[in-house]
Structure 1
Amino acid sequence: MIECTQGEHHVELRYRHDVIRIESWGRDAIRVRAGRHRIAEEDHGALGTPPLREAMTLDALPEGTEATIGLGAISVRAVLDPGSGNPRLMLSFLRDGREILTEAAEHFWWPGPRSISRGPDGSQIRQSFVSDPSERLYGLGQHSHGRLDLKGLVVDLIQRNGEVSIPFLLSSRGYGLLWNNPAVGRVELAADRTRWTGHGTEQIDYWLCLAPTPAGILGSYADAVGHAPQLPEWATGFWQSRLRYTSQEEILQVARRYRDEGLPLSVIVTDFLHWPAMGDYCFDPEEYPDPDGMLRELEAMGTRLMVSVWPTVSPHSRNVEEMRAKGLLVATEAGVEYHQEFKDKGMDRPLPVSFYDPTNPAARSYLWQRIVEGYYDLGVRLWWLDACEPELSPGHPGNLSFYSGQGLAVSNTYPREHARAFWEGMTDRGERHTVLLCRSAWAGSARYGVAVWSGDIAPTWQALRAQIPAGMSIGIAGIPWWTSDIGGFHGGDPADPDYQELFIRWFEFGTFCPLFRLHGHREPREAVGAVSPGGPNEIWSYGPQAHRIAADHIRMRERLRPYIDSVMDQASATGLPAMRALLVDFPQDPRCWSVEDQFLLGPDLLVCPITEPGARQRQIYLPDGAQWRDPVDGAVYDGGTTITLPAPLERIPVLIRQGSELEI
């Protein structure tokens, strides 16, 4: 029989060795934890203090075969299902008496809906839910598969370059679920069920919200894991970057040209190899003889410098021996503390490098102190946290041993904890704003000022198409600050007319992304393992036509910035993503749940990128529930209709919600 124990904000269920704790955890939301024998209180997930706690009710049958837990409009039904002679405890989740989500047994005998086991390969957990074939599923971070609706996919829960694992799903059935476990694993989104798996861990932990609308679910999710802070106004301007600027004079020359052309430049980036050795956390004095003077001149032009900081430490670094002696590097279960190969300055070939351990508070503190000495005291305030997955080679986190736990169990939190080091450091220094450009994230990263870009992607039309659902998906997963490398990263010849067309279309798309940033490793590229700067990547590098169109879009972005600033403020306050799928604002329109190649920037701007070479028009679906105005000719169209608009090379179709005062 089910043994039930009730507290003010939780109910605990026990059957045999299994224990399940169901807790009130925010608006329309609960947290469910399941373990063997007991619930471990220590966890490394994304849920801190509950944002809101409501009293729970318990109604249990005397014979112990069923119990109902109530929380406002939400209820949880626990039933001791007899199976075929091997009973198991089954949960169903309801809102206003309607079943929204229910557990699914994997087999009539064993296992049931959840499994916690230990075998020769270590511990493993599994949790299964029923899923209807018509259910649509969204989120899970950012991936390159080009899909918005994830139904039918198997998605690895692991951090990789360009694959950002944030285990939050939004369902068309009216729930949002955060798999609150940073273990390496996978989620299988099959026609009949959804199954979550985690390795190296022994406790099931998930947060579930049952709210009437997607906006309500996303707001409650942000309450639970942390809202993004307010984005500073300068950050919505144009950012310039390339593979590598080789000196402070080169940076200044680029910034001066933007100024001389009358084009506002908010940020310019110095990427990797600006240091003497990786892990020194300072400028190379031969390339940056007067960084203080460089920063003053940039500031006078209205431009901020962003500095790339990698979590890797070279064997040539002046800090490596101290970090090793103090236990600040990621340890290994077998072998020495090296996790990647990299050709740094002073190396005639790639050598092994180490990652520091940001799950260790002492390591975060040590890193920040070196950052203060090498950059902050000079005036640097913007940080690019590259390769923060971490980018392992080989990519086997099972051999890692972190301060917070074994690699399989906790490694997905690495990018979040790395960002935390900078957030805590900046906050302790009294800084009002922290903006961290990161290549990866986990649930809760947004609260540390994390902006994600989509990684080292290809310079192809296919990659451009994939950016649209990628940006919408990571917004659903809780990251409102997002961008991609305009033009892709791995190559692209600025002198090639075909590539110039792709660059123009990508630049137009980037104009309407939450962050507007040009980056890439252009041709001529160097040989693998070399340290040269790559080809040019400024807007004037792509010929006169691309230069003119890009300049016009920088000016357009300036006109849009007051609106984008307001959208970012809304994202911070409400948890709604800035770049969002149509279903967020128009859930009542069934078509909006399937549109993958258009997005909303805030509530009033419908963006329809061009993602095919040679296209000069495109078909657009207008969400039902509003009218839409074409800013080019003022024509107004009814929602719920499909139209075709011209798309000359110099612009992509963008429509404004009728009634908005926005102008482009």
Structure 2
Amino acid sequence: MKLGVRTWAGTARDEFIQLTEGVMAAEDLDDPVDGAVRSKVERISPHHEIVTVAAPAGVHRIGLVLPGHPQQQFIGLGARHGLHVDQSGRSLQLGADRAYTGPDCPPDMLELGGIPQGDYAPVPWLLSSRGWGAWVETEGHGARFELGDEVVLSTRRDAGPLKVHLFTHATPHARLRAFLKLTGLPPVLPEWAYGHWKSRDVYNHETEAQADFDGYREHDLPLDAIVLDSPWATQYNTWEFNPHQFPDAAGMIERWRADGVRTVVWVAPWVNLDSDDGQYPPDAESARLHRAPAPNYEPEMFVRDGEGEPLVAKWWMGTGSPVDFTSPRAEEWWREQAKNVLKLGVQGIKADDGEGWYIPDDAQFADGTIGAQSAWGHGLKYRRSMQRALDEVHPGEGVLFGRPGWTGQQAVGVTWGGDQPSDFWSLRTLVAATLTAAASGFSNWSHDVGGYLGEKLVARCPKELLLRWVQFGCFTPLMHAHGRFEQEAWTYDEETLEVYRAHVLLHERLVPYVRAAAATAARTGLPIVRPGALIGHRDWAVADAYGYGPALWVAPVLENGAREVEVDLPKGDWIATWDLSEHAGGGTVVAPAPLDRIPVWVRRGAIVVTYPAAHVARGLGDTPESERPLEATLWGEPPCGRAAARLVDGTVVRFRRGQWSVSEDREVHFLTRAM
């Protein structure tokens, strides 16, 4: 591959929009030059090279130039919230590459490129259809990817030397695996991390949280966790329950836990001087607490500004300072506060925020780096601190649920796709983001069923969209229901409740199948959600269907009013789950999609292992995994007359020459061609 180097003088003038957490990228650049640079190429293996380029003072941006191709396609770069999975033809800056251009975008904003939104879960990693992959090893602001007639991968000089890993392994999956072996393979999480969680934007009082729990029980909906989102503490972020909002937090947690439901608490890596313009319950005492500085504000524990003082900034829940996780003392101080809450019985942490956009270039970290070099590494250190707290209090059982992205974050906990409005455009872009995130190594993935921001930001998710979203959520590793408005299924109508219940129940039943796929991801990097690029699909960048584990092909319904979808099936033979019809892959089929159904096919000859519906009707509960009853379904005649499925606990279910067998002493119900 012929490579070149290019440099530019200039200045950056990115603008951060605090209200929407969007960054508007802007630079003033001189014409590119072949300036004096120092470059080095290291051959690590036959399929892995590292190109390092250092530039002299006066250079603003350093770029590595690769050959383009008119038919070249690209996937990766983390969660790209757009209508397309293929990123070819784009010029984008990570951390500043998301804008709402959907149906409710004002025309004047549309002319400017849309409403800037938080660029959640970016990763400086790229897969090309021309047989290579690239990881730009940087944590600084300004990583850019020009994917046009020529390919330019560039960073700002202030971030340090440009360092690009090039991978030329034979398949996209092999290239992804090589990247993840360097940066971290996704873990297999506890069962409840793959279940169904419920949350609201604000629980104004403990009684509202209890109402969600009671609603699930009253309406026979499976439930595995309740997330106490912002706010729940006395201020942002004290790690102390607000007694006016949760007068018996310990009792509530214990009561839920006794019925098989875990508690997760929200946090952001800030401690506030003023939380008055954040969210807080409506009672006078809670308002009084949030007007005061947080009592755990310790100036020596925070990132410093350019003058060496604690960095004080306005973020979306007030004004405060970000914790410096490069300081061992500060990390321990933060982690020990978290552990005090976890010891009450809380088993999960929703680690919100942590993106680099709040860290200015001149910010100073305790490890000697500045924001220009390491702003986007802040989120991984934050995640690791929270995961360490969980491991120390709940070893093997705690779950981290995080929002930020960048290199390495795929290896810690679950990631969710950020905030979406409740419209079909946003659902379509979320599916595309799910696929690009998967191609970047995110296997443990989730999103807010129904959309977090609501319809036009003022109303709850419409019924049809909610049902299509819950169907997509059914075939996502963690199914998480969360929003600003009343979106509980039982508040709509009986049809909504029935369809919602059926898909939550199916999601719970699929947990052993999904965790087996998670184990594959932990070994090989092949994620649970499998975009076409990773499995040899003829449409390298298909944006409206995906593999789910080794045996399922899923086609979410992404248009309002649609009652059928046209789907491009991968190669092989497939069985439709709704009528058991058989279809040859490698071409398109039209599938019926009534309001109560998402089209799903099973690869012919596959064994899909699930839990019986009755066993998980209330949720996963606490039965040890190795003691759970199983259902094993064989979908059609397997090649050579035999098939097998291995579960995370080591159980192997086999079918050979008409006979079933199981490696362990388990209660297993065997079925053929029926789910």
Matches within 5 A, 1:141-220: 141-158=78-95, 161-185=118-142, 186-220=144-178
Equivalent residue, structure 1, for 2:361: 398
The letter for the 1-side match of 2:44 is S
Alignment match, 1:18: 38
SS in 2 for 1:241: strand
Q: CA offset at residue 253 of structure 1?
A: 2.7
Report the CA distance between 1:641 and its aligned residue. 1.8
Question: Match for residue 636 of structure 1?
Answer: 582
2:446 paired with 1:472: no
1:338 Cα deviation (Å)? 1.8
Match of 2:48 among 24, 29, 41: 29
The SS at the match of 2:438 is helix
Q: 1:327: how far off?
A: 4.2
Q: Is the 8 A contact 2:545 2:556 kept in 1?
A: yes
Q: How does 1:224-263 map to 2 (within 5 A)?
A: 224-263=182-221
Normalised by the length of structure 1, the TM-score is: 0.76
In structure 2, the partner of 1:118 is: 57
Query: What is the one-letter code of the residue matched to 2:425?
Result: Q
> Could you say which residue in structure 1 is the equivalent of 2:305?
331
Counterpart of 1:646 in structure 2: which amino acid? P
Aligned-pair distance for 1:497?
Answer: 10
1:616 corresponds to which residue? 563
Q: Is the Cα–Cα contact under 8 Å of residues 135 and 173 in structure 1 kept in the other structure?
A: yes
Tell me which amino acid in the other structure corresponds to 2:594.
P
Q: Which runs of 5+ in 2 are unaligned?
A: 1-34, 97-116, 275-289, 609-673
Distance in 1, matches of 2:294 and 2:322, equals 10
Query: Which residue of structure 2 aligns with residue 356 of structure 1?
Result: 323
2:95/2:119 contact within 8 Å kept: no
List per-residue Cα deviations over 1:86-140 (Å, max 9, x = no partner).
xxxxxxxxxxxxxxxxxxxxxxxxxxxxxx2433xx7533222112121111100
TM-score by length of 2: 0.75
Letter in 1 for 2:337: R
One-letter amino acid of the structure 1 residue matched with residue 67 of structure 2? V
Partner of 1:651, secondary structure, is coil
Cα distance change, pair 657–204 in 1 and its aligned pair in 2 (3 A): same
1:407 paired residue number:
371
Kept in 2: contact 1:117–1:202 (CA 8 A) = no
Residue equivalent to 1:446: 410
Root-mean-square deviation (Å) = 2.6
Deviation at 1:168, TM superposition (A): 0.4
Compute the displacement of 1:297 (Å): 1.2
Do the aligned partners of residues 175 and 341 (structure 1) sit closer, same or farther apart at CA in structure 2, a change above 3 Å counting?
A: closer
Aligned length: 538
Aligned ranges for residues 508-587 of structure 1 at < 5 Å?
A: 508-522=471-485, 536-586=486-536
What is the identity, as a one-letter code, of the residue corresponding to 1:163? Y
Q: Is the Cα–Cα contact under 8 Å of residues 489 and 496 in structure 2 kept in the other structure?
A: yes
510-519 or 421-430: bigger deviation:
421-430
Contact map agreement 1:495 1:543 (CA 8 A) in 2 = no
One-letter code of the match for 2:216?
Answer: Y
Q: Which amino acid aligns with 2:348?
A: L
Q: Is 2:421–2:456's contact at 8 Å kept on the other side of the alignment?
A: no
Deviation at 1:144, TM superposition (A): 1.8
Deviation at residue 215 of structure 1 after TM alignment: 1.7
Supply the AA of the counterpart residue of 1:506.
Answer: W
Residue 384 of structure 1 and its aligned partner are, at CA, apart by: 0.3
| Residues 61-108 of structure 1, C-alpha deviations (whole Å, 9 max, x = no match) | xxxxxxxxxxxxxxxxxxxxxxxxxxxxxxxxxxxxxxxxxxxxxxxx
Partner of 2:643: none
User: Match for 2:574: what amino acid?
Assistant: W
Matched with 2:670 is: none
Q: % of aligned pairs identical?
A: 28
Is 1:490 the counterpart of 2:453? The answer is yes
Task: Give yes or no for the alignment of 1:656 onto 2:624.
Answer: no
Answer yes or no: is the 8 Å Cα contact 1:465–1:611 preserved in 2.
Answer: yes
Shift of 1:566: 1.1
CA gap 1:580/1:654 in 2 versus in 1, 3 angstroms: same
Q: Distance in 2 between matches of 1:495 and 1:280?
A: 30
Distance 1:18 1:474 in 2: 33
Which amino acid counterpart does residue 357 of structure 1 have in structure 2? D
Instruction: Using the TM superposition, give the Cα deviation of residue 399 of structure 1 relative to its aligned residue in structure 2, in angstroms.
Output: 4.4
User: CA distance change for structure 1 residues 498 and 537 in 2, over 3 Å: closer, same or farther?
Assistant: closer
1:646–1:337 distance in 2 versus 1, CA, 3 Å: same
2:231 is paired with a residue whose SS is coil
Measure, in 1, the Cα distance between the counterparts of 2:393 and 2:48. Answer: 35
AA aligned to 2:513 is: Y
3-state SS of paired residue (1:273):
coil
Using a 3 Å threshold, how does the CA distance of structure 1 residues 142 and 399 change in structure 2: closer, same or farther?
Answer: same
Q: What's the counterpart of residue 597 of structure 1?
A: 544
CA distance in 1, matches of 2:461, 2:393: 48
**Structure 1, 401-410 or 381-390: larger mean CA deviation:** 401-410
Q: Which amino acid aligns with 2:69?
A: D
With over 3 angstroms needed to count, the CA separation of the structure-2 counterparts of 1:621 and 1:19, relative to structure 1, is: closer
Post-superposition shift, 1:220? 1.6
| Aligned residue type for 1:135 | Q
Q: Could you say if the C-alpha distance between residues 510 and 199 of structure 1 is closer, same or farther in structure 2, counting changes exceeding 3 Å?
A: farther
Indicate the larger mover: 646-655 or 381-390.
381-390
Instruction: Check whether the contact 1:485–1:517 (CA below 8 A) recurs between aligned residues.
Output: yes
Matched with 1:369 is 336
Following the alignment from structure 2 to structure 1, what is the Cα–Cα distance between the partners of residues 75 and 37?
Answer: 34
Match of 2:248 in 1: 290
1:309-354 CA distances to partner (integer Å, 9 max, x unpaired)? 11121115898676543242443459972222455xxxxxxx5222
The 8 Å contact of residues 228 and 480 in structure 1, kept in 2 or not, is answered as yes
Are the equivalent residues in 1 in contact too, given 2:421–2:457 (CA < 8 A)? Answer: no
Residue 402 of structure 1: SS of its match in structure 2? Answer: coil
Change (3 A) 1:464 1:17: closer
Residues 512-537 of structure 1: CA deviation (Å, up to 9, x unaligned):
01211111112xxxxxxxxxxxxx23
Structure 2 contact 135–164 (Cα < 8 Å) conserved? yes
CA offset at residue 148 of structure 1?
Answer: 0.7
User: For the structure 1 residues 175 and 17, does the alpha-carbon distance in structure 2 shift closer, same or farther, using more than 3 Å as the test?
Assistant: closer
Q: Distance in 2 between matches of 1:29 and 1:342?
A: 42
Name the SS of the counterpart of 2:127 in structure 1. strand
SS at match of 1:200: helix
SS across alignment from 2:193: helix
Q: Which runs of 5+ in 1 are unaligned?
A: 1-14, 36-115, 344-350, 523-535
Verify the 8 A CA contact 2:347 2:394 in the aligned structure 1. no
The corresponding residue for 1:131 is: 68
Call closer, same or farther: CA 1:545–1:363 in 2, change over 3 Å.
same
Q: How many angstroms does 1:164 deviate by? A: 2.3
Q: Tell me which amino acid in the other structure corresponds to 1:279.
A: N
Could you tell me which residue of structure 2 aligns to residue 435 of structure 1?
Answer: 399
* Cα distance change, pair 330–425 in 1 and its aligned pair in 2 (3 A): farther
Report deviation, 1:252.
Answer: 2.4
Amino acid at match of 2:474: T
How far apart are 1:22 and its partner, in Å? 0.8
- Residue-by-residue CA offset, 1:452-472 (whole Å, 9 max, x unaligned): 211111111100011111001
Aligned to 1:272: 230
Cα shift at 1:543: 2.5
How many Å separate the matches in 2 of 1:333 and 1:654?
58
Alpha carbons of structure 1 residues 142 and 333: separation in structure 2 relative to 1, 3 Å: farther
Larger mean CA deviation between 606-615 and 320-329 belongs to 320-329
The structural deviation recorded for 1:577 is 1.3
Work out the CA distance in 1 between the residues paired with 2:461 and 2:303.
46
Structure 2 CA distance for partners of 1:192 and 1:21, relative to 1, 3 Å: closer
Cα gap change, 1:250/1:493 in structure 2, threshold over 3 Å: closer, same or farther?
farther
